Amino acid sequence: MSKLEPLTEQELASFRIPGEVLRYLEIQREKLGLSRDQINVLDYGCGKGTSVAWLREHGYNAFGVDVERRYIDNGRGLLRARGLEADSILSMLDEQGRASHDKGFFHFIFSEAVFEHVPDLQQVMRELGRLTASGGAGLHRFPAHLRPVEEHLFMPLVHYLPKTRARLLWIALNLAAGVGPRWPELETLGLVDQARAYYKYSVEQTFYRSPRAILSTAQAEGFRGAFVAHQHPKIDRHPVARRWVRVPGLRGFASWLLTNFVIVELLLERPDGKASVRQVSS
């Protein structure tokens, strides 16, 4: 269901929170020795807050923030109907990207498919740094910058091209070949206007960065960070991949491959001198 439609009970009943978000949240909860209702969790870029509603239903003290009012409004109705304080649970970031929550309020912050939409990552990291408690952590998942097929336009290599006419031309060629999304609001337009609209979206709404650039932005705001996609439990269950990632050289290669070409799972920690989330998980 789209963020453009109100969240319903039916939608929530069939929703499953990403397994890795829950896994790292639980690791963090265990590390801090908190109960579910004591751990303050933030879904950064929450859309209409489906994950927030799911976490609340499962007893976590969860909140969500976003930059789009219509998405936030689409999530508040269900929370309100459940007798929750919808306006404080789902809230807007201000023009400077600041949340209304106090400094250091959150023990765990996650985001799902948000960082690739953020024009000013430094501003976001600064706010995540302000919101994260000392000893707090976060998991941020988003598509890798060299993913062969771009996640939103479903066109090969489109995000490899600079944001110039070359990209516009490539989008038009893809559309002419029948490759690309089919946004209902663009269906009445001709090919050139559709190409322009998809190009505008890719220029204004997508910002892919290398893992190195992302990590150094996080470190500059006081985080310790690591890419953890290769630690996914699915890999441990796979008969071949499991053996591969145990070989020291191949482990680094698997991490590089996943983080550059498939998915970024960035674990951020705000050091407090105690055991890290990764130490507790191993």
Ligand X SMILES: C[S@@+](CC[C@H](N)C(=O)[O-])C[C@H]1O[C@@H](n2cnc3c(N)ncnc32)[C@H](O)[C@@H]1O
d(CA 54, CA 180): 32
> Rule CB under 6 A: which of 101-160 touch ligand X?
112-114, 117-118, 124
62-70, 159-167, 209-217, 246-254 -> range binding ligand X (CB under 6 A): 62-70
Give residues with Cβ within 8 angstroms of 117, minimum separation 6: 45, 205, 206, 207
- Write out the two tokens for 54: 């799911």
34-42, 61-69, 160-168, 216-224 -> range binding ligand X (CB under 6 A): 61-69
Q: How big, in percent rounded to 5, are the helix, strand and coil portions of the chain?
A: 45, 15, 35
68 binds ligand X (CB under 6 A): yes
Selected from 47, 129, 136, 225, the binder of ligand X by CB under 6 A is 47
Closest distance of CB 134 from ligand X, Å: 23
Q: How many CB atoms lie within 10 A of CB 108?
A: 28
25-33, 41-49, 98-106, 232-240 -> range binding ligand X (CB under 6 A): 41-49
Q: Which residues of 97-107 are buried (b: 16+ CB within 10 A; e: fewer)?
A: bebebeebbbb
42 binds ligand X (CB under 6 A): no
d(CA 149, CA 151): 6
- CB-nearer residue toward ligand X: 71 or 223: 71
93 binds ligand X (CB under 6 A): yes
Which residue, among 109, 98, 100, has the nearest Cα to 132 in the 3D structure?
A: 109
Closest distance of CB 72 from ligand X, Å: 9
Selected from 22, 46, 62, 99, the binder of ligand X by CB under 6 A is 46
Indicate the residue type of 67.
Answer: V
11 binds ligand X (CB under 6 A): no
- CB-nearer residue toward ligand X: 101 or 251: 101
Q: 102: which DSSP letter? A: P
Report whether 282 contacts 32 (CB < 8 A). Answer: no
The site for ligand X (CB under 6 A) is made up of 3, 44-47, 66-68, 71, 93, 97, 112-114, 117-118, 124
